[in-house]
C-alpha cells in the first residue's frame, strides 16, 4: 500500500481535498474493497494536481 492509499484508507478525505483544491463528495466513505475502484478513478482524474509521494 503506498502513502496515497494509506492516507485515503485512513479516512482522510481532507488530504485529497487539500491536494486538489476541490471538495470531494464520497457517498459511502468507508474502508472497503469498493474504495479501490474509487481510488483508481481519483488517481486518473486528479493525478496531475498533487504529488502522491508527499511526506506528511
pLDDT of the residue at 5: 56
What's the rounded Cα separation, in Å, for the pair 21 and 49?
9
Residue spans of the domains in the chain: they are: 3-49
The answer to whether 36 and 43 are in contact (CB under 8 A) is no
- Which of 27, 26, 38, 22 is closest to 4 using CA atoms? 38
For residue 4, how many C-alpha atoms fall within 13 Å in the half-sphere facing its CB?
18
CA 28 to chain centre: 14
- Looking up cell 481519483 gives 42
pLDDT in tens, 10-54: 556 777 777 888 877 665 545 566 667 777 777 777 666 655 555
Amino acid at each position: 500500500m503506498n502513502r496515497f492509499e494509506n492516507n485515503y484508507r485512513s479516512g482522510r478525505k481532507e488530504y485529497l481535498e487539500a491536494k486538489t483544491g476541490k471538495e470531494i463528495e464520497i457517498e459511502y466513505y468507508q474502508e472497503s474493497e469498493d474504495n479501490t475502484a474509487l481510488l483508481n478513478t481519483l488517481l486518473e482524474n486528479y493525478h496531475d494536481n498533487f504529488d502522491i509521494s508527499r511526506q506528511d
